[in-house]
Amino acid sequence: MKAFEATELFFQQAANQLDLPNDVRELMLTPKREVQVQVPVALEEDCITTFIGYRVQHDNSRGPMKGGLRFHPAVDLDEVRALASLMTWKTAVVNLPYGGAKGGVTVDPRGLTEKQLEMLTRVFVDQIHDVFGPRTDIPAPDMGTDAHVMAWIRNQWEKYHGFNPACVTGKPVEHFGASGREEATGRGVGILTLKLLGRLGRKPTGTRVAIQGFGNVGSHAAKFLSDADMTVVAVSDISGAYYEEKGLEIHDCLRYIAQHGSLADYKNGAVISNEELLSLDVDVLIPAAIGGVIHEKNVDQIRAPIIIEAANRPIEPDADAKLFEREIIVLPDILANSGGVTVSYFEWAQNLQLYKWNLNRVRQELDHVLSEAFESVWQRSHESQTSLRTAAYMVAIERVHHAKTLAGIL
């Protein structure tokens, strides 16, 4: 199923519960603005390579739009549109004063030198600088982009509009970035996993976890959960998955990654495939890599009773329905991975005031925001007897709907 179609399906399930009229649904699903631009870059002397870049601004009824920029070969308009709408529901469910957006360039950044990547970033900003900024739409890192790319974005944007570090978040700490932004999504996954276990009456100690993806999100989630006394029995990256029945030594995995750049040839765990990791007999499964990894063909092999969607869209809708039938609890992406956008919001708020919080404050406020969001979704799911996903969408849609009504749009 195409990305936007899948996101729309989840929206419709919640809209049905809310009895939302069709004209309102159409308005809420239709992006406010979609921009597609050419990004010509002289990768080699005397030869221009033309990339395609996108920025989709989905909704701004609750505040300026917010969402990452992805540099990846699979980026296309449909995917960016789906991810932009996910950001609207994500910022609404966490109750941040934002709408949703997303952008990207169809490119494999691993094939570029640092200088070429910088040129590409700057040309992309040249093309879209007038549609984003601190009060309209604030980009952030996503797959294939990082704090360094955000520093180039800020620098290029400020050439047109003057000093304003709030034009982009996820910047390096030395460039008005927030302490704790890098760990925020994985830490948020950890915080929310503990909240869910608590509500289910389970203790973290000894809870067995498998995590697919050991990049920014997966590695910080693994660290947080193993520090919370949970047993992380498997982690993986693109090179494969690594399993240890008694629990992996996560700090050793982190050291290995820091030295080697990937988990390839990691020796302190048995090698299994990424597919086998998904079907391990664990208490909690955390897909933290890419979208669509749990689908109709492998859903019956899933044995974990709890899935935390750290990645965006890791479960296809048909598989989601089967998991619900089997009473497997899924903490949906729009809530589970919202720690990153929450700390991005803290960064933006600090930038607007030119004031800096310390790491302790960032962590405390993150815990507070995510706890409130979790409780509102948990309660909603019990009141309405729905999955946590449908409940999360219901909370988000109601907030956006209310904002539109108050503004006189509806």
Nearest to 306 by CA among 190, 187, 200: 200
Strands 240-243 and 231-237: antiparallel
Q: Is 271 in the site for ligand NAD (CB under 6 A)?
A: no
Q: Write down the least CB distance from residue 50 to ligand NAD, Å.
A: 25
What 3-state DSSP class applies to 265? coil
Among 179, 274, 342, 351, binds ligand NAD (CB under 6 A): 274
Q: Write down the least CB distance from residue 393 to ligand NAD, Å.
A: 17
Nearer to ligand NAD, 133 or 213 (CB): 213
CA distance 209 to 173: 31
Q: Is 337 in the site for ligand NAD (CB under 6 A)?
A: yes
Q: Is 185 in the site for ligand NAD (CB under 6 A)?
A: yes
Among 117, 143, 178, 392, binds ligand NAD (CB under 6 A): 143
CA distance 244 to 237: 15
CA distances from 404 to 3, 27, 60, 152, 165 (A): 26, 10, 9, 35, 29
**In the window 34-73, what residues touch ligand NAD (CB under 6 A)?**
none
Token pair for 247:
């629990």
Contact 360, 369 (CB under 8 A): no
Q: Given the rule CB under 6 A, which of 152-160, 195-203, 208-216, 381-389 is the region that contacts ligand NAD?
A: 208-216
Q: ∠177-178-179 over CA atoms, to 5°?
A: 120
Q: Given the rule CB under 6 A, which of 11-19, 72-80, 121-129, 308-316 is the region that contacts ligand NAD?
A: 308-316
Q: Is 290 in the site for ligand NAD (CB under 6 A)?
A: yes
Q: Given the rule CB under 6 A, which of 22-30, 193-201, 206-214, 296-304 is the region that contacts ligand NAD?
A: 206-214
Q: Is 340 in the site for ligand NAD (CB under 6 A)?
A: yes
Compute and round to an integer the Cα radius of gyration of the chain.
20
Respond yes or no: is residue 102 known to be catalytic.
yes
Q: Is 109 in the site for ligand NAD (CB under 6 A)?
A: no
Helix (H) or strand (E) holding 321: helix 317-325
Which residues contribute to the site for ligand NAD (CB under 6 A)?
142-143, 185, 212-218, 236-238, 274, 288-290, 310-312, 337, 340
Catalytic residues: 102
